[in-house]
Amino acid sequence: MKKLEIIIKPEKLEDLKALLDENQVNGLNIVNIMGYGNQKGIVQKYRGAEYRVDLLPKVKVETVVSNSVAEILIDKIVNEINTGNFGDGKIFVMEVQDAVRIRTGEHGKEAL
Amino acid sequence: MDFSIWFLIGAALVFFMQCGFAMVEAGFTRAKNSGNIIMKNLMDFCLGTVAFFLIGYNLLLGEDKAGILGWGLHPITDFANTDWSGFVFNLVFCATTATIVSGAAAERTRFIAYCIYSVVISAVIYPIEAHWIWGGGWLSQLGFVDFAGSCAIHMVGGVSGLIAAIVLGPRIGKYDENGKSRPILGHNIVIGALGVFVLWFGWYGFNGAAATDITQLAQIFATTTVAPAVATCTTMIFTWIKNGKPDVSMSLNGALAGLVGITAGCSNVDCVGAFFIGLVAGILVVVVVLLLENVLKIDDPVGAVAVHGACGIWGTFAVGLFDYNDGLFYGGGLHQLGIQCIGILAVLLWTVVTVGLLFFILHKTIGVRASLQEEIEGLDATEHGLESAYPDFQAVNYKY
């Protein structure tokens, strides 16, 4: 099982959700986050004085899927969610040790 | 037509400006201090009312003594024979002066010091200079013109704010180790804008309440619209050119700058005069904000000194230029202009000495500035025990 942490621009959330639903994702969780990447944020002005904005709003979508689904999803996200601009985001892939369904107590892939 | 009821409606509109000030100041400062800003605005009116009732009213409107102050009225003991119309009207103007300072002093002032300041300015400092201008005192005898208070209220409030800001020092983190200013963003520009619109609305009462016939009132409404509108356009264009983009919060300040500028001459200038008064105010406010912030390193979180102090002086001076009977540009020569200057200097001196002394004494006795830790944590929590003015936006645990 793999956990995908998908960090995207907030305006791409609906596209990503549609993509995940089409590809048999069992569930997901969404977090509003802020951050920056290699561009280190942007510079803005307030009453004539400059300041750096490095708390840029992003959305993180986490989902746990089987290894095969993970590969398919990653390819699809890279193809369909990218805009070609800086700030499109990242996907981090982690190995999941176990999953448990609280309602029934099942473990492993059946719990997804 | 009997205008006495309009007089009181105007007073109610001026009272409503307290809402405007509260919203502007809250919107232009940080959320962690919002409850404190609300308290300062609420209490400077309420404490001011008590102070004005007990002493200030008498000093302002009592029988003139040597042109300096008034005395001899009995609002406490003689309810039936007191001019309550005059009491309320002058009280709400007094409260406007007091509340200007809370913006310049925002986010770092010990609440008790602010309360004491509110009492003193409403009891003594404002009533005496207002007596000179409106209560039968020496400035009114000289022919000084300040119809609604560019000098009596706004200059005094703005200069008091300047003194407070200097004594307090800048907010922590406002200037970096090289002395370069760091923006501290207002937490709610929408609330700030609400405040500006409320102030503008109330200003029709502020400028118009003392009108005695409908023609005069209509003219005041006209100048009170043209000046701020032109000022706002000017500020917008000026910041657009200077910074590359039209600045929202500065433009909001621009509207107020125009309103302050027209206040002295609202009944004595035509709309051409109002146009130019607004135009200059719109530029002056930006210049003074930048002067204070970048050159003098005086931290004024909401631009109160630029809006009220600088444009109050400009508005009072401008009467000498644009008064359609006596102004320099209307054939009146330098006479009125000279009188305006005397008034500005006299009231300025009075304000600097009395308010300077007041803040100096407070600074040396109980202290005016919150501690470093209190300021960082936020005055809501440290001065008022209020964890947040917006508790639902952070984790609050409710048990069910």
Mean pLDDT computed over B109-121: 97
pLDDT confidence band for B393 (50 / 70 / 90): confident
Distance from CA of A46 to the nearest CA of B (A): 6
Domain housing A77: 2-111
Average pLDDT, chain B: 95
The CATH superfamily of B4-372 is Ammonium transporter AmtB like domains (1.10.3430.10)
Q: How far apart are CA B372 and CA B200, in angstroms?
A: 36
Residue of B nearest to A46 (CA): B183
Mean pLDDT computed over B286-307: 97
pLDDT confidence band for B395 (50 / 70 / 90): low
Q: How far apart are CA B264 and CA B257, in angstroms?
A: 13
Number of helices and strands in chain B (H, E): 17, 2
Domain ranges of chain B: 4-372
pLDDT, tens digit (0-9, with 9 covering 90-100), for A22-50: 998 999 999 999 999 999 989 998 988 88
Query: Chain A residues with CB inside 8 Å of B300's CB?
Result: none
Mean pLDDT computed over B141-157: 95
pLDDT confidence band for B392 (50 / 70 / 90): confident
Distance from CA of A103 to the nearest CA of B (A): 22
* Of the candidates B27, B362, B360, B32, the residue with the CA atom closest to the CA atom of residue B171: B32
* Count of Cβ atoms closer than 10 Å to residue B246 Cβ: 14
pLDDT confidence band for B202 (50 / 70 / 90): very high
pLDDT at B398: 73
Any idea what DSSP says for residue B151?
I
Q: How far apart are CA B239 and CA A45, in angstroms?
A: 11
pLDDT, tens digit (0-9, with 9 covering 90-100), for A50-85: 899 988 999 999 999 999 999 999 999 999 998 999
| Residue in this structure with the two tokens 């300077």, named with its chain if needed | B356
pLDDT, tens digit (0-9, with 9 covering 90-100), for B240-273: 999 999 999 999 999 999 999 999 999 999 999 9
Query: Chain A residues with CB inside 8 Å of B238's CB?
Result: none
Per residue, the 3-state secondary structure of chain A, as one string, reads CEEEEEEECHHHHHHHHHHHHHCCCCCCEEEEEEECCCCCCEEEEECCEEEEECCEEEEEEEEEECHHHHHHHHHHHHHHCCCCCCCCEEEEEEECCCCECCCCCCEHHHHC
Q: What is the CATH number of the domain that holds A52?
A: 3.30.70.120
- pTM beyond 0.95: no
Average pLDDT, chain A: 94
How many Cα atoms within 13 Å fall on the side-chain side of residue B277? 39
Binding-site residues on chain A for chain B (CB distance < 8 A): 45-51
Q: Looking at the DSSP assignment, which residues form a beta bridge with residue B185? A: none
Query: Chain B residues with CB inside 8 Å of A51's CB?
Result: 182-183, 185
pLDDT, tens digit (0-9, with 9 covering 90-100), for B342-353: 999 999 999 999
pLDDT at B396: 65
Domain count, chain A: 1
